[in-house]
DNA sequence: GTCTATATAGCGATAGAC
DNA sequence: GTCTATCGCTATATAGAC
């Protein structure tokens, strides 16, 4: 269809500009001018800027969810899945998506920062949409992690899963508050391997004992 | 001084609104109206919105750096510091700062998201200012971590330190993409303990071995 | 389905009264 | 030191020509 060409061009342009300049910081004019169209086209296809934003993410998140769940299923029967396999099923598709969304972005403003941005932006609508899109995935992975980490209670598994998500997002976003001068940003595969090593150990850590409450004398070895 | 009253009120209002609505999403009018002043006052005291933003952070970051370095020094002589002590020196002051900056913020938009936001926002000026403010701290801590983790090479220590920063920021920001219905957000002390358990294990993990080949750029045949 | 032209509103910044 | 009023600009959104 020819009508789809403009639509896709708008989505591509928006995705790229959002990653470079932020979502709030990107005007419809910038999007349409990059896409070779004009402001009215956005409202014709998406109704509003909010509709455009929603579509930019929806286009990526459904395939991401599918891929993660397929990879998880390939780890074996529930209850017998290896922790590293579960973790890779969770991390790898996300990192690859981050890299793909990054194609036109400058080297210093890397990749998946788009998703990280959304998590922090003020408006509720997108964060809620994101949470909805991820809910099924997270429920399934939380269950898999819980079975693979029998030494942890439910609440600590959830807390660690949320930590792991933060580590992953921050890693994919390529944020370096502390960066060596000549250090190159890691390639996708190297990043995944380092993330997995880091997170497997973190998830397997012994349970956190309450330091305040009943056992004040105990220091963890 | 009486002049300081308005100035401080502007900084307080700005800090609170930035955390709630984002920096880009907060207008000077919103800040001044909350502070009981008006737009001109911002330009009188800070010259511009950018100057205001800079001051909001500068007011918090210098004490944070001091506190962290003091805590690190209290861990003992360089080369003999325990990993957990170094990590707590790094994490605890940051978490407490996040909690303090959160006072007026609604429960669903927690704490340190302000710093997390800055890391992702488009403009370079603030990220550079933040990197500058943290540089000394990070150099000192990177050195301490490297001595405490002799099984890792320099580049992996740096990579893991950046991961740890991401974990910490995400945790303090209170982001929960996956949240149980009745789950309460953890208290500061509980968060710190869980973060430390998680990160000690992660940092101590064995070195990541290249999985593809001897050189990271090579594609497997 | 795509354009131009415009309506409406909000922004940061500044001048000048007090 | 603090105010009101306003300038100049840009944003999203829409109406209507083609």
The pTM is what? 0.90
The answer as to whether A215 is a domain residue is: no
Give Cα separations from B14 to A221, B25, B51, B65 (angstroms): 44, 11, 12, 22
Inside any domain, residue B78: yes
pLDDT higher at A102 or A159: A159
CATH number of the domain at A175, please. 1.10.357.10
Contact call for residues A187 and A95 (beta carbons, < 8 A): no
- Greater confidence (B48 vs A127) lies with B48
Report the residue from B169, B189, B216 with minimal CB separation from A170: B169
DSSP string, B63-124: HHHHHHHHHHHTT-STTS--HHHHHHHHHHHHHHHHHHTTTTS-TTS-TTHHHHHHHHSS-H
Tell me the C-alpha distance between A169 and A165, whole Å.
6
The verdict on residue A49 lying in a domain is no
pLDDT of residue B70: 98
| Window 142-161 of B, Cβ < 8 Å to A | 142, 155-156, 158-161
Contact flag A134-B194 (C-beta cutoff 8 Å): no
Res. A200: pLDDT tops 60: yes
The per-residue pLDDT for range A24-41, each reduced to its tens digit, is 889 999 999 999 999 999
* Minimum distance, in Å, between the CA of residue B176 and any CA atom of chain A: 6
pLDDT in tens, A70-120: 999 999 999 999 999 999 999 999 988 877 675 444 434 444 678 777 776
CB A207: neighbour CB atoms within 10 A? 13
Per-residue pLDDT, B103: 44
> How distant is C1' of C12 from CA of B53, in Å?
14
Sign of CA dihedral B140, B143, B146, B148: negative
Q: Would an 8 Å CB–CB cutoff place B206 in contact with chain A?
A: yes
**Other residues' Cβ atoms within 10 Å of the Cβ of residue A7:** 18
* Residue B168 belongs to some domain of the structure: yes
Residues of chain B neighbouring A84 (CB-CB closer than 8 A): none
- pLDDT tens column, B118-132: 777 666 788 888 888
Joined tokens for residue A45: 């296809």
Protein residue nearest nucleotide C15, by CA to C1': B40
Q: B14 and B56 in contact (C-beta within 8 Å)?
A: yes
**Contact between chains at B197 and A206 (C-beta distance less than 8 A):** yes
- Residue B11 lies inside a defined structural domain of this protein: no
Chain A CA closest to residue B173: A120
The mean per-residue pLDDT over the stretch A183-209 comes to: 89
CA distance A101 to A105: 8
Q: Band of the pLDDT at A126, cuts 50, 70, 90?
A: confident
Asked if strand D contacts A21 at the CB level, meaning under 7 A, the answer is no
Contact, A142 vs A157, CB < 8 A?
yes
A210 CB within 8 Å of a chain B CB: yes
Q: Which nucleotides of C are covered by protein (CB under 7 A)?
A: 1-5, 10-16
Regions in chain B scoring below 70 on pLDDT: 1-3, 99-100, 102-112, 121-123, 175, 177, 179, 181-186, 211-221
- Cβ within 8 Å of A, B 31-90: none
User: Of A18-27, A121-130, B78-87, where does the model show the most confidence?
Assistant: B78-87
pLDDT at B216: 43
Contact (Cβ atoms closer than 8 angstroms) between residue A9 and residue A35: yes
Q: How far apart are CA A39 and CA A28, in angstroms?
A: 6
Residue B150 lies in a domain: yes
Q: Please count the structural domains in chain B.
A: 1
Given a cut of 80, whether residue A174 has pLDDT beyond it is: no
Residue A214 has pLDDT above 70, yes or no: no
Q: Among residues B57, B205, B65, B28, which one has the least CA distance to residue B141?
A: B65
DSSP state of B202: H
The number of CA neighbours under 13 Å toward the Cβ of A103 is 8
The distance (Å) linking the CA of A21 with the C1' of D9 is 20
Backbone angles phi, psi at A207, to 5 degrees: -60, 145
Residue A49 Cβ < 7 Å to strand D: yes
Q: Say what the pLDDT of residue B186 is.
A: 65
Q: Which residue in B93, B13, B108 sits closest to B53, CA to CA?
A: B13
Is residue B122 a part of any domain in this protein? yes
What was the pLDDT predicted at B124?
A: 75
Structure confidence at residue B81 (pLDDT)? 97
Which pLDDT belongs to residue A121? 67
For A166, B89, B176, B182, B183, the CA distances from A147, given in Å and listed in that order, are 22, 33, 21, 22, 20
Is residue B151 in some structural domain?
A: yes
How confident is the model at residue A211, as a pLDDT? 58
CB contact under 8 A, A135 and B162: no
CB A42 within 8 A of CB A31: yes
Of residues B158, B166, B212, nearest to A171 (C-beta): B166
Please judge whether B120 and A122 are an interchain contact, meaning their C-beta atoms are less than 8 angstroms apart: no
* Containing structural domain, residue A142: 57-204
């Amino acid at each position: 269809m020819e009508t789809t060409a403009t639509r896709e061009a708008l989505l591509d342009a928006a995705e790229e500009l959002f990653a470079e300049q932020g979502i709030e910081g990107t005007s419809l004019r910038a999007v349409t001018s990059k896409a070779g169209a004009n402001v009215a086209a956005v409202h014709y296809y998406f109704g509003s800027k909010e509709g455009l934003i929603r579509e930019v993410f929806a286009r990526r998140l459904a395939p991401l969810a599918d891929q993660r769940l397929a990879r998880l299923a390939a780890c074996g029967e529930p209850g017998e899945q290896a922790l590293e396999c579960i973790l890779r099923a969770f991390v790898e598709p996300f990192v690859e998506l981050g890299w793909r969304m990054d194609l036109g972005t400058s080297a210093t403003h890397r990749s998946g920062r788009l998703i990280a941005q959304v998590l922090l932006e003020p408006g509720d609508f997108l964060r809620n949409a994101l949470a909805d899109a991820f809910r099924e995935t997270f429920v399934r992975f939380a269950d898999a992690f819980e079975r693979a980490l029998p030494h942890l209670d439910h609440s600590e598994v959830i807390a660690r899963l949320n930590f792991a998500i933060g580590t992953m997002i921050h890693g994919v976003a390529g944020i370096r508050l502390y960066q060596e001068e000549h250090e190159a940003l890691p390639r996708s595969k190297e990043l995944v391997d380092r993330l997995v090593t880091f997170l497997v150990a973190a998830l397997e850590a012994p349970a956190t004992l309450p330091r305040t409450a009943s056992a004040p004398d105990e220091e963890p070895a």
